[in-house]
Amino acid sequence: MATRNTIILAAGKGTRMKSKLYKVLHQVCGKAMVDHVLTQIEKNKMDNVVTVVGYGAQNVEDALGDRTKYVLQKQQLGTGHAVLQTEELLGNLDGETLIVSGDTPLFTAETFAHLLEYHEAKHAAATVLTSVAPDPTGYGRIVRNDIGIVEKIVEQKDATAKEATIAEINTGVYCFDNRTLFDALHLITNDNAQGEYYLTDVIGILKQRGDIVAAYQMDSFDESMGVNDRIALAKANQVMRDRINTHLMQNGVTLIDPASTYIDADVKIGTDTVIEGGVSIKGNTTIGSDCFIGAHSEIQDSVLHDSVKVLASFIEKSEMHTGSDIGPYSHLRPEAEIGEQAHLGNFVEVKKSVIGNGTKVGHLTYVGDATLGENINVGCGVVFVNYDGTAKHHTNVGDHAFIGSNSNLIAPLEIAADSFVAAGSTITDSTEKFDMAIARARQVNKPGYAKKLPW
């Protein structure tokens, strides 16, 4: 039975990145480059996906998990040698094999599908995905004969002066008849400037045998961009960001200034949400419809339901329910859950706490390790004192309670529903329903004493 297979080449060290991080794990819009490649491959429903790893192998496997099989290229002897490492898994299969590099994060599933369809239609032994580069320096060149048939692929370092002027470049993506591929891999040599076994040499071998070698030229050069250094990484991020933002706007999201709006690849945003400039939305974040995200906000790995308003605030690993709002200049730390129609004003920090429906925390307040019920009013400057120097403790506040300004609630503590904490109190004991708790020194005035002071 014929199979569809993919080999992802991810074994190179990437020395030009000048980084401790393995090259293919550098991120583009919040996702490792090799993860982008695998995500697009998965949309084409392959029978087998094998990733060739080398340097940083365990880190790549940790990043991709069981979505792919792995083989190890112990010595970096070139792309042909890398593909040959998959022979034990794929060598005896009928069908076709797509080969793509793990440092090309901009390819789309549609391009891969078109390449596969073209390869099948041409009944080719091999099909090369090509593009026309504005500056082909550094890329392998596609050498065609007088009638346009592919003759060979020449690497930059092996190209003649005439070949170096060719603008059509090899994107590093191929489709092969699987058995033909592995037969030819055993025939390539390392007689070249790099002393490596080039996958591209398979094309020349197939041409000499009289096999059909086709080339599918894609429309977008940007999509074929490989990332070998930090400059290319920045360009790839820009291209991906433009693609993400365009898709969102086409689907009903308003971006006031797309050029300064940074949205990761896995973010989901509903229709009629408005996002101002300078906003970063990262990780696995979902934002509902009719939301407003004000300028210079940052949201990471969070869920915002419909009609949420965020003004210049930082939200991480938290959830805001329908109609709630926050900011400006507030911070939701991990495991904060904000109820429907709840209000968090300016300079409010919430950590590992639940704020109930309709509750208001106006400003200059820290809520940590607490559960607040519904329709509570928390005054200015309140501190939920949750840490005793050794352990964190929890505070519960019941519905309709009132917490006066500049109060300290020292956990563990139970503030009952409908109870009242007087402003300026330091509360250490729990309250009962309808209690008013007051814990502050009684004021004493000293007549005339101010005259003795030095000013």
* Alpha-carbon gap, residue 83 to 64, rounded angstroms: 19
Q: In 3D, which of 293, 301, 296, 307 has the Cα closest to residue 319?
A: 301
Q: Is 257 helix (H, G, I), strand (E, B) or coil?
A: coil
Helix or strand run (H / E) with residue 110: helix 109-122
Phi, psi of 245 (to 5 degrees): -65, -40
Determine the 3-state secondary structure of 159 from DSSP: coil
- How many helices (H) does the chain have, and how many strands (E)? 8, 39
Residues known to be catalytic: 363
How does strand 213-217 pair with strand 150-154? unpaired
| Alpha carbon of residue 304 to chain centroid | 18
Q: What DSSP string runs through 64-100?
A: HGGGSEEEE-SS---HHHHHHTTHHHHTT--EEEEEE
Residue 187 token pair: 């025939």
Long-range Cβ contacts of 60-64 (<8 Å, 24+ apart): 60/10, 60/22, 60/24, 60/25, 60/34, 60/102, 63/25, 63/32, 63/34, 63/35, 64/34, 64/35, 64/38
Rounded Cα distance between 75 and 444, Å, is 82
Question: What's at 401, amino acid-wise?
Answer: A
Nearest to 44 by CA among 91, 6, 83, 99: 6
| Nearest to 203, CA basis, from 224, 174, 225 | 174
Distance CA 32, CA 64 (A): 9
CB 334 within 8 A of CB 317: yes
